[in-house]
Amino acid sequence: MKEIYIDANVFLRFILGEPPEFAVEAERVFRDSIEGRFKLVTSELVLAEIVWTLEAFQKVF
């Protein structure tokens, strides 16, 4: 199965829903992966970047 590496931007667009046109594309990427079209991969560093961004700029936590 083809693997696609995704970075923090894809996760953040999906989580935050903005800008809307990018959020829709991010959702499409996740749906396609769930449907088995490809496997998504990322790194621990990307996950840390997501948490940092949500804490520092979005005040989510």
Q: What angle do CA 20, 26, 27 make, to 5 degrees?
A: 90
Residue 60, pLDDT above cutoff 80: no
Percentage above 70 pLDDT, the chain = 98
- The closest alpha carbon to 2, from 40, 30, 46, belongs to 40
pLDDT at 26: 98
Residue 61, pLDDT above cutoff 90: no
pTM of the model: 0.90
Mean pLDDT value of segment 37-42: 98
Percentage above 90 pLDDT, the chain = 92
Tracing tokens 């840390």 back to the chain, one arrives at: 48
